[in-house]
């Protein structure tokens, strides 16, 4: 799990982090994925979390025209240059 996704999962209200970690582990196995496909209500949050993690990868983002590091650096530069809070 990526650091960002790990932090996101850990921040959930109890007992969600433990449940989600288990389901994410299940979803990473082919048979687990097939099982979850039969349970759309369970699959939805697992799919959302996995997607959030996968597309947060800087290399994936850059390939899609999004660079979080550039956005954050521009913010820091603007704040410094203009004395913003």
Partner 1 sequence: MSAPATPTLDADVCVIGAGAGGAVVAAELAEGGARVVVLEQGPAHDPGTFTARPPEMLARLYRDGGQTTTIGTPPILLPLGRGAGGTTLVNSGTCFRTPPAVLDRWRTDFGLELDEARLAPLFDRVERALSVAEVTPELAGANAAVARRGAERLGWSHGYLRRNARGCVGSGVCVFGCPTSAKQHTGITYLPRAVAAGAHVVTGADVRRIDVRGGRTRTVHARLQDGGRLEVRAPTVVVCAGTIHTPLLLARNGLGTASGQLGRNLALHPATAAFARMDEVVDMARGVPQSFYVDEFAAQGVMFEGVAGPPGYAAMSLPVTGEAHREAMADYRRLAQFGLMVSDVSRGRVRSLAGRPVIQYALAEADVAKFRFGLARLDELLRAAGAREVLLPLPPGVRPERARARDLKLMAFHPLGTARAAARPTEGVVDGDLAVHGVDGVFVADGSVVPSALGVNPQLTIMALATRLAFRLLDGRIDARPPAPPTEEETACRS
Phi, psi of 83 (to 5 degrees): 65, 35
Identify the CA nearest to 28 among candidates 18, 20, 17. 20
To 5 degrees, how large is the angle CA 57–CA 65–CA 83? Answer: 85
Q: Which residues in the 5-34 window bind partner 1 by CB under 8 A?
A: 5, 7-13, 16
Q: C-beta of 18: minimal distance to partner 1 in Å? A: 13
Cβ proximity to partner 1: between 25 and 72 the closer is 72
Q: Under the criterion CB under 8 A, does residue 52 sit at the interface with partner 1?
A: yes
36: preceding bond cis by omega (within 30 degrees): no
**Residue numbers of the site for partner 1 (CB under 8 A)?**
2-5, 7-13, 16, 40, 43-44, 47-49, 51-56, 60-61, 64-66, 68-69, 71-72, 74-76, 78-79, 82, 84-85
């Amino acid at each position: 799990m990526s650091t960002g996704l790990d932090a996101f999962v850990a921040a959930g209200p109890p007992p969600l982090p433990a449940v989600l970690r288990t389901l994410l582990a299940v979803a990473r196995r082919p048979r687990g994925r097939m099982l979850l496909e039969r349970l759309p209500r369970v699959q939805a949050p697992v799919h959302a979390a996995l997607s959030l993690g996968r597309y947060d990868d800087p290399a994936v983002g850059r390939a899609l025209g999004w660079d979080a590091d550039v956005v954050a650096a521009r913010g820091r530069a603007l704040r410094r240059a203009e004395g913003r809070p």
